[in-house]
Amino acid sequence: MKSAIVLLLALAGVAHAAPSFEQVRAAYRPSDAQLLDRHGEAIQSLRIDMTVRRLPWVALNDISPALPAAVLQAEDRRFYQHDGVDWSAAAQAAWDNLFRTRPRGASTITMQLAALLDPALQPGATGRSLGQKWDQVKAARELDAHWTKQQIMEAYLNMVSYRGELQGVSAAARGMFGKAPSGLDMSESVILASLLRGPSAGQKVVAQRACALAHELHLPSTCSEIQLRIIVAMSRPQLAAYLPPAPQVAQQLLTRSGQALRSTLDAGLQRHAQSVLRQQLAALSGRNVNDGAVIVLDNASGEILAYVGNAGGGEVDGVAALRQAGSTLKPFLYELALERKQITAASLMDDTAIDISTPSGMYIPQNYDKNFKGYVSARTSLASSLNVPAVRTLVMTGMERFHERLHEVGLSSLTQPAEYYGYSLALGSAEVSLLELSNAYRALANGGMYDAPTLVPRAASTPRRVMDAKASFIISDILADRAARSITFGLKNELATTFWSAVKTGTSKDMRDNWCVGYSDRYTVGVWVGNFDGQSMWDVSGVSGAAPVWRDVMDYLHRGQISRAPKPPAGVVRQQIVYEPALEQARSEWFIAGTQSPVIALLQDQHRVPKILYPGESSIIALDPDIPDAIQRVFFQAQAGQGLRWQLDGEPLGQANADYAWRPTPGPHQLALIDVNANAVARASFQVRGAGAQ
């Protein structure tokens, strides 16, 4: 029998076509896909193939020499002498198998590699057939004839299974020992080599093999030491992560195993933003703040330079999640009022108690600090984030128009009609994502020009105008004015960078969400902190919560470059102004040409110009389908309405010295304030849409 088997193996026939080493390496696919940053650096891996775990191919020179030495001792001691088949070992195995109850194999490393390359050579439930063995011999000899021994060893170590789903030396080294293949020591190599004959063997069997192999190689490690290392290595729960996490971006972009996709992210910035966020959350842990997110945008290209969905690399994506915007929507409201020339940055705003009648009751806004400031300029109102002036501004612009503007700047999450949010829309009652909100601020940074952000490199896009350039410039100037924000935030805070920047904070109802979004001349940075489960934070404001992260990221971005204030666009003029009485200090103020005035005087009601405050010109009022027609009301509001009456579509109504409740009817309407002689002193056109109308 022995001579027959030897003769059979010796008569291996004509050459079996074998793939080249280059073909095998090119066809190799890791189970993971890799996310690359803008410079080609790997920053995140994502498991795609769930059947095995393979990491990128490792060159033999990048594998510790200890592993090939251990593998040769365990599997193929005559590897460098035979031609792919160890005839002597095959003959001895055949002879031994006649007299032993436990069969012994004689497959060389080359023969094992041949079986790894050709599924037809894989053994069945009862082992390989005689025909499979014949083909395996031919394939091994063909490999040995066309490949170098180093290529055979490299391919084998990258393709063989070591333990469970761990296939290839990189996955095995990282999965069992948490290190790169180049860092394997001799004891670890002995353990891996001992797994090759039985990757699913128990710890006891593996320990017996490893101890025997260590003895053969004359290692200094004792068997007890090796056994302990086996217990630790085989108890690791999963493949250890070895790249800084950007899991939300990887989930969005990576789709196939082996993929290596270049993104717009910057690896250094990504790591820094994540680190800063983690540090801030640790500092706020005593105030019930557990989660956060950071986004960084390039103003010119819209490329996303950092995308930290959360601080811990988990599944929740805080960049895309919807949260109440708080005061971060106010800049777009004031921009709209400036654009429509309803106010200027110098206009005096009434920050006193106000109650507004709504179909659901009285709406009574308050400031963050529960105090009122009296008359303050629009500049101060926005920079210091006063709530009552913002609500009064929304009354002027109209809810519907402001709602449309928010859609125009990319806040797609506002799917309900304006009336659903009510006047609290001015204070950020709507839910938005950090990404869309930050990109809307980027539109302000770009003078009112909008285009979508991107995570992958793209050709230059064509932005569209969504806000007036002149009004956007003035808003940016206000958001950069640390003196104007000082009555609420003080002069020294995390918003006061050493370079030009415009920034706004926001805190949602019950302190569930905390925002800080702002921009320099080159970058827009948005930060959210809070709790993913919606719990309230404890005494955390925008300045103490999100702002420190925003400031640190901005400082990092500008560590080697300065940020300059934008140049005023055509149609913007600077005017020296004084207030009478001196409610604010004299200063130089920006105006849209034609709206400037050197003196800003506070007029008492009897001297103020009569004006229709609500509904504003061109307002669109949508009836609420959930409120019965009989009780729906629209409340007309006027400034300086004493002695005047309301007139609607030519028909006189009640006195204008108080809000007038009108039962709305669908269609266009003309509203006027008329004096005792029935002369119109103010007019406003508006439209009422029926319930369910678009």
Gap between the Cα atoms of 509 and 516, Å rounded: 16
pLDDT at position 104: 42
More confident call, 641 vs 288: 288
Give the CB-side neighbour count of residue 223, counting CA atoms within 13 A. Answer: 13
Q: What is the pLDDT of residues 526-575, one digit of tens each?
A: 999 999 999 999 888 767 889 999 999 999 999 989 999 999 999 999 99
Contacts 24+ apart (CB under 8 A), 113-116: 113/140, 113/143, 113/152, 113/155, 113/156, 113/159, 114/18, 114/84, 114/139, 114/140, 114/143, 115/139, 116/156, 116/159, 116/160
What is the average pLDDT value for the chain, to the nearest integer? 87
For residue 184, the SS3 value is: coil
Q: For 256-398, where are the alpha helices, taking DSSP H only?
A: 267-283, 330-339, 378-383, 387-397
pLDDT of residue 364: 62
Q: What CATH number labels 275-574?
A: 3.40.710.10
CATH architecture label of 605-689: Sandwich (2.60)
Residue 277 above 70 pLDDT?
yes
Q: Domain 2-30+54-234 has what CATH class?
A: mainly alpha
Q: Per-residue pLDDT tens for 1-22?
A: 333 333 333 333 334 467 999 9
Give percent of the chain with pLDDT exceeding 70.
Answer: 88
- Cα–Cα distance between 471 and 71 in angstroms, integer? 72
For helices 203-216 and 186-195, the axis angle rounded to 10 degrees is 120
Kindly list the distances between the CA atom of residue 206 and the CA atoms of 189, 217, 224, 372, 612, in Å, as whole numbers in the listed order: 13, 16, 13, 76, 86
How confident is the model at residue 597, as a pLDDT? Answer: 93
Tell me the pLDDT tens digit for each residue of 336-348.
999 999 999 999 9
pLDDT tens readout for residues 149-193: 999 999 999 999 998 889 999 999 998 998 999 999 999 999 999
Q: Within a 10 A sphere around the Cβ of 287, how many other Cβ atoms?
A: 14
What residue spans define the domains of the chain?
Answer: 2-30+54-234, 275-574, 605-689
The whole-number pLDDT of residue 542 equals 64
Predicted local confidence at residue 509, as pLDDT: 82
310-319, 464-473, 582-591, 642-651: least confidently modelled range: 310-319
For 577-628, what is the HEC assignment? Answer: EEEECCCCCCEEEEEECCCCCCEEECCCHHHCCCEEEECCCCEEEECCCCCC
> Strand locations in 20-156, DSSP E?
32-36, 42-47
Single pTM value for the model: 0.74
**Matching CATH topology for 2-30+54-234 and 275-574?**
no
More confident residue, 263 or 49: 263
